[in-house]
Amino acid sequence: MYYCIATDREHMYLGNGTAVTVQAADTTVMQSIDLMAFASSNNHDSTVTLQCKIGGFTPSHVSVHWLIGSRKENGQTMFVWEEGEEKSVKTHNYITVSTEEWRTGGACTCVVNLGGRMFNKTLHYYDIQDTCYPFIRVPRIFAFVAALLFFMTLFILGGRL
């Protein structure tokens, strides 16, 4: 209990008191920095969006920036409420770079500043597995060719009937 005591030189006044409860910080939430890269699906837009997802830090105490090669960029920050086993607020920071810069620029580092303590994580182009994209394209091409052959066969047979 904390009590406020005030005096006016003749009298002393004692407040009702305030109960203060101190709890240890919740250590079950792990601090994490996760990086992802998203390539644009638009053929006219040759950019890659990099995402830095930060968890386990109080969002109001976090500042984030990126080091793209030797260049510093602030990116755009959003706070996202995530529900799961534990409800938490995650800090997401996004930056867009050209595809060429992404493939040849080397390191893209997300830097998290928490009250003077610095945390960072780096993502390289070669860290991303692009092997699934050809496997997605091949069935699409096969389906397109099969549909084209089907309609051509119908057209040819339909003309003979």
Write the pLDDT tens digit of every residue in 95-131.
Answer: 998 888 888 877 899 999 988 888 899 988 876 544 4
How far is it, in rounded angstroms, from Cα 159 to Cα 130? 45
Burial 71-107 (b: 16+ CB within 10 A, else e): eeeebebeeeeeeeeeeeebbbbbbbbeeebbeebee
Nearest Cα neighbor of 80 from 122, 121, 34 is 34
Domains and CATH numbers, the chain: 32-130 (2.60.40.10)
pLDDT in tens, 50-98: 999 988 777 778 899 999 888 899 999 988 887 766 667 788 999 998 8
Q: Are 32 and 55 in contact (CB under 8 A)?
A: yes
| Burial label, 50 (beta-carbon count in 10 A; 0-12, 13-18, 19+) | buried
Q: What is the pTM of this model?
A: 0.57
Structure tokens belonging to residue 10: 């003749």
**Of 112, 73, 116, which is closest to residue 91 (Cα–Cα)?**
112
Bigger pLDDT: 96 vs 17: 96
The residue with tokens 């995402």 is 51
Kindly compute the dihedral angle of the four CA atoms of residues 36, 37, 40, 43, in this order, to the nearest 10 degrees: -150
